[in-house]
Structure formats: structure tokens, C-alpha cells
């Protein structure tokens, strides 16, 4: 579907850490990793007396370029690729149960079979491998994204390359990023928004892919030069930006600023538009749904969401939940967790969510799932996790303690006691997702109807 063969071999595809990486270098690196994959297949097949092992590989690499090499090499070898939502060991272990091998890098050691363990002898004649001197864009095979889903339980979302490529085509039709631009990001390539917007879409057009930045000051330095910049960002980054917007003086360098991974508040969007004299393009969607719609908000009342071509939405009569029909999802029609109001066949407004999924720093957390993990600790009888919204959304935790928990609470310092609970949570949740404030009770404040009173919980943090 996509073909970069019209580009010169010297064309720069990546500019990372101050280094240009050409199309030819990328092709050579992909082919080199394909040799590793084939060697690994051969070794595994001999050891296990199986054919074409592995078929399913977990891929995690924090470096965008190294990730891209592995993704294209694995897909070229007709391997299904599984993306963990983070690199926590319990997250990986769940995927290792349904896959054959690991590809990439991790901060801790694993005993699972890894393609990285294969060494390639560059002196050996490997002409028989018949690897293409051109970049082959994936068209077959599956991509599996690990997500907490609407229930809080981990589940896998399957996307075919055909579905991914259809969505990439629509992104280009709507937003038209050219090879004369460059893309910088504040989000990871490991999740579907970053994978599409920050890696696959620019790569499919030969657009220069630049670094991932954590701070506005670093983004500012990347705005220098003769290329227009598309910034792939998030509500968390953009919320922080308005306090001291160091990008305002260089906003004429932007071709696009995208925000997704969570809802950008209308007032934040309006303030940014005033500071930058440039609109933020919000993209609505999720791992399960892919992209659904987009909008720009520069004044109130806020603009309605505009669906991408091919997307159809309807409303469930009683709950007003949105029903999605989309060419880039397998489950269609799909009942969404969002409520909405359709104002035309292609425009709508959002009216909130029906579940307890929240986004913290663009990482999805299900509050019920976190409570379940907290309750597994022997010091905890019951817990309730609250979302506190503001300039930065954070979680608060209220715990009722067991007898052992009450004893330990008196024995340990407050910091040491909370650290123990946090360490328990770190097996499944990243540090940035953990509650920031904690309260410990003998019992949670239920009312006479046996329901927790939200206001009573909130008072504990006033």
C-alpha cells in the first residue's frame, strides 16, 4: 500500500540524537535484524522440533529507531507482534503466556526466549537469505495491543496491517503531512497513538522522524531550522505548557500540533491557541477503536467532533452510549463507553464516560482494577481510589486496614507504610499512575443504604 522506493537511498528518514539515518541505512538495519530472526527461528525449531517458530513475538524498545527496525523485520517475517502497555514484569509475564519470544530491550533480566540473544557472523555468506534491497511495507500479519479495557482486566486488541494502513491513509488525506516536514513527539511509539502518528504515518510519507522530548525547552530547540514541525503530543504535556509557554515565540515553525491519549480541556485548548496563535488538533479514539474523530477548539461553545471518513456513529436509545462502525476495527458495530449526542451524520459532542477508566499522563488506569490489587495486600481490608482533576489529574487513595495493617501503621512511619503499599502496586502499575495522597481508616464511610458517599471520601483530603 505504501512505497518509499521513489525516495533516494540517501533520503533522511530519521534525525535522532543529532544523527541522520537514511532510507538505505534503515533498510540495511531491518535486513540485519531479519537475519537474527531467521537464525532464532532455526535454533528454536531445531530445539523444539517445531516449524516456523516463533509465530508470536513481544516487542518493547524505548528507542524509536530500534523499535522501528524490529517492527518491520518481524512483520516482514510474517510474525504477529505483541505490544505490552508498559515494561513492568507482571505485564510482560501475561504476554509471555501467549507468545513465543521477546524482541527489544528491558531494564531487567528475563528468562523468556529472546531474539536479542542471537549473534550474526557478518563474515558468513548469507546471500541465500534473499533479502530485498528495498523497504517492504507490511501488509499482512497481526498487531496486538495490551490494554486494561473497560473492565480493568488486561486484554489484547488485535489490529491487522490492512486496518492500520487504511487508517494511515485517512490520516494523510485529512492532515497531509509531507516529506518536507519533520515530526517530533512527547509521546511513546509503544502505544497505538504514538505508533500511528509518531512513527508509521511519517515513515509512510518519508517525513523526517525526530526525537521524543519530555520538556518544552527541548521541543523549542527542535523548532529551529527550515522544516515545518508536526508535534505529536498529549494533554498532560500541553497542560504543563500553558504555565510558561516557551514555544510561543517559535510557533510559526509548526505545521500541526496533535493531542490525543485523553481529553484536552476546552479552556486549556483555548489558552494554547491564544498563546501560540496556532490551533491544537485533538484526536478522539482509543486502542480498541482506532481514530474516530478530530476537532480544534479556539473559543466557546467548543467545536463539535468531526468523524474521519468511513466512520459511522449512532446512539444507543436509553443510555446515549455511542455505537461505532469503523473500517479499522474487527468488532463492528462496537458499543463504546462514551456517551454522546449526534448533531449530524458526521458531527457529535461527547457527554462523558460510563466506566471508571481514567488517563494519567496518557496511561490508561482502571480504578477498579487498582483497588483490586490494593485489596490483595494483607494489610488492606478495602480501598477506594479517587480521581482529582485539575491542572494535573492525580489519584487519591482511601484504605481501610486489617488488624495487621493497623498494627503496622502504628509500628512504621507514615512514609515507610505507604512505600510498602506502593511497592505492592508497582508489580502492575507504573509509578506515574500511583495515588499521590493516602488516607488510612478502620472502615470506609458507608451510609445507611450501604453505599460509599463520595463527598465523605473527598473531605478526607481537604
Residue 440 belongs to domain with CATH number: 3.30.300.30
The CB-side HSE value for 409 (13 A sphere, CA atoms) comes to 17
- Name the pairing type of β-strands 312-315 and 321-325: antiparallel
The answer to whether residue 27 sits within a structural domain is yes
pLDDT for position 388 = 87
Q: Using 50, 70 and 90 to split pLDDT, how confident is the model at 381?
A: confident
Average pLDDT for 107-128: 73
pLDDT band at 224 (very low <50, low <70, confident <90, very high): confident
Encode 246-275: b = buried (16+ Cβ within 10 Å), e = exposed.
ebeebeebbbbbbbbbbbbbbebbbbbbee
Least confident of 30-39, 57-66, 219-228: 219-228
Quick one: residue 78, left, alpha or beta (phi over 0 = left, psi -120 to 50 = alpha)? left
For the chain, the domain total comes to: 2
Q: Is the pLDDT of residue 126 over 70?
A: no
Burial (CB < 10 A; 0-12, 13-18, 19+), residue 183, is: buried
Would residue 143 count as lying in a domain?
yes
The string of pLDDT tens digits covering residues 238-282 is 888 988 899 999 899 999 999 998 888 888 899 999 999 999 999
pLDDT band at 438 (very low <50, low <70, confident <90, very high): very high
* Claim to verify: residue 209 and residue 333 sit in the same structural domain: yes
Average pLDDT estimate for 367-386: 89
Domain boundary among 299, 321, 353: 353
Residues 346, 369, single domain; the answer is no
pLDDT at residue 127 tops 60: no
| 347 and 395 together in one domain | no
Give yes or no for residue 389 having a pLDDT over 50.
yes
Number of H helices, E strands in the chain: 13, 23
Claim to verify: residue 74 and residue 32 sit in the same structural domain: yes
Q: Which of 67-76, 131-140, 311-320, 416-425 is the least confident region?
A: 131-140
State the pLDDT at residue 46.
67
Indicate the length of the chain as a whole number: 462
Mean pLDDT score of the chain: 88
pTM (global) more than 0.85:
no
| Domain with 438 in it | 357-459
Q: Is 18 contained in some domain? A: yes
- Among candidate residues 353, 373, 395, the one where a domain is terminated: 353
Residues 297 and 388 occupy one common structural domain: no
Segment 282-325, tens digit of pLDDT: 999 999 999 999 999 999 899 999 999 999 999 998 888 999 99
**293 and 172 co-located in one domain:** yes
Whether 367 shows a pLDDT value over 90: the answer reads no
Per the rule left: phi > 0, alpha: psi between -120 and 50, beta: everything else, 199 is alpha
> Which of 389, 411, 390 has the alpha carbon at shortest distance from 401?
411
Looking at the fold, whether 222 and 161 belong to one and the same domain comes out as yes
My answer on whether 402 and 340 are in the same domain is no
Same domain, 298 and 378: no
The band of 89, judged by pLDDT with boundaries at 50, 70 and 90, is: confident
Asked, for residue 6, whether it belongs to a domain, the answer is: no
Q: What is the DSSP letter of 452?
A: B
- Give residue 154's pLDDT: 67
In the prediction, which pLDDT does 47 show?
65
Q: At what angle do helices 64-76 and 23-48 cross, to 10 degrees?
A: 60
Domain final residue, candidates 334, 353, 372: 353
Domain for residue 7, yes or no?
no
**390 and 330 share one domain:** no
Residue from 362, 383, 363 nearest 372 by CA: 383
Same domain, 222 and 251: yes
1 is a domain residue:
no
How far apart CA 362 and CA 403 sit, in angstroms, is: 37
Average pLDDT over residues 424-447: 89
What's the CA gap between 369 and 148, in Å, rounded?
Answer: 8
CA distance 362 to 48: 40
User: At residue 163, does pLDDT exceed 90?
Assistant: yes
CA dist 98 and 374 (Å) reads: 26
Q: Is the pLDDT of residue 225 over 80?
A: no
C-alpha–C-alpha distance, residues 201 and 183, integer Å? 10
Domain assignment present for residue 390? The answer is yes
Pair (325, 373) in one structural domain: no
What is the predicted pLDDT for the residue at 271? 92
> What pLDDT does 100 receive?
92
350 strand-pairing partners:
340
CATH (domain of 194): 3.40.50.12780
The pLDDT value given to residue 48: 63
Domain contains 4? no
Amino acid at each position: 500500500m505504501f512505497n518509499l522506493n521513489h525516495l533516494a537511498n540517501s533520503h533522511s528518514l530519521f534525525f535522532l540524537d543529532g544523527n541522520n539515518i537514511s532510507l538505505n541505512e534503515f533498510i540495511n538495519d531491518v535486513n540485519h535484524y531479519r537475519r537474527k530472526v531467521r537464525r532464532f527461528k532455526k535454533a528454536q525449531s531445531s530445539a523444539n522440533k517445531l516449524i516456523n517458530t516463533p509465530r508470536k513475538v513481544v516487542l518493547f524498545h524505548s528507542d524509536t529507531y530500534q523499535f522501528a527496525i524490529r517492527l518491520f523485520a518481524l512483520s516482514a517475517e510474517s510474525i504477529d507482534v505483541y505490544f505490552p502497555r508498559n515494561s513492568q514484569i507482571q505485564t510482560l509475564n501475561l504476554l509471555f503466556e501467549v507468545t513465543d519470544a521477546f524482541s527489544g530491550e528491558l531494564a531487567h533480566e528475563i528468562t523468556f526466549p529472546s531474539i536479542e540473544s542471537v549473534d550474526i557472523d557478518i563474515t558468513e555468506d548469507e546471500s541465500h537469505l534473499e533479502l530485498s534491497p528495498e523497504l517492504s511495507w507490511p501488509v499482512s500479519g497481526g498487531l496486538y495491543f495490551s490494554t486494561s479495557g473497560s473492565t480493568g482486566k488486561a486484554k489484547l486488541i488485535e489490529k491487522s496491517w490492512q486496518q492500520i494502513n487504511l487508517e494511515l491513509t485517512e490520516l494523510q488525506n485529512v492532515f497531509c503531512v509531507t516529506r518536507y516536514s519533520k515530526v517530533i513527539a512527547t509521546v511513546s511509539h509503544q502505544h497505538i497513538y504514538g505508533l500511528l502518528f509518531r512513527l508509521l504515518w511519517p515513515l509512510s510519507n518519508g517525513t523526517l522522524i525526530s526525537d521524543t522530548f519530555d520538556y518544552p525547552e527541548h521541543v523549542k530547540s527542535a523548532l529551529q531550522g527550515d522544516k515545518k514541525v508536526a508535534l505529536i503530543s498529549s494533554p498532560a504535556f500541553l497542560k504543563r505548557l500553558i504555565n510558561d509557554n516557551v514555544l510561543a515565540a517559535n510557533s510559526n515553525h509548526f505545521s500541526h500540533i496533535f493531542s490525543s491519549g485523553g481529553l484536552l480541556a476546552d479552556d486549556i485548548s483555548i489558552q494554547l491557541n491564544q498563546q501560540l496563535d496556532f490551533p491544537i488538533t485533538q484526536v478522539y479514539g482509543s486502542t480498541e477503536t482506532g481514530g474516530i474523530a478530530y476537532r480544534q477548539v479556539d473559543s466557546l461553545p467548543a467545536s463539535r467532533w468531526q468523524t474521519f471518513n468511513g466512520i459511522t456513529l449512532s446512539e444507543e436509545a436509553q443510555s446515549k452510549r455511542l455505537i461505532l462502525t469503523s473500517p479499522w476495527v474487527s468488532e463492528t458495530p462496537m458499543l463504546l463507553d462514551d456517551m454522546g449526542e449526534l448533531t449530524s451524520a458526521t458531527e457529535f459532542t461527547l457527554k462523558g464516560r460510563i466506566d471508571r477508566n481514567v488517563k494519567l499522563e496518557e496511561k490508561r488506569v482502571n480504578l477498579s482494577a487498582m483497588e483490586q490489587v490494593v485489596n490483595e495486600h494483607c494489610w488492606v481490608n478495602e480501598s477506594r481510589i479517587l480521581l482529582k482533576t485539575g491542572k494535573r489529574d492525580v489519584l487519591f487513595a482511601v484504605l481501610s486496614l486489617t488488624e495487621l495493617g493497623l498494627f503496622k501503621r502504628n509500628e512504621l512511619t507514615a512514609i515507610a507504610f505507604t512505600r510498602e503499599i506502593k511497592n505492592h502496586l508497582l508489580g502492575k502499575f507504573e509509578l506515574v499512575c500511583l495515588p499521590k495522597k493516602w488516607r488510612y481508616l478502620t472502615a470506609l464511610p458507608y451510609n445507611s443504604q450501604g453505599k460509599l458517599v463520595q463527598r465523605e471520601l473527598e473531605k478526607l483530603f481537604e
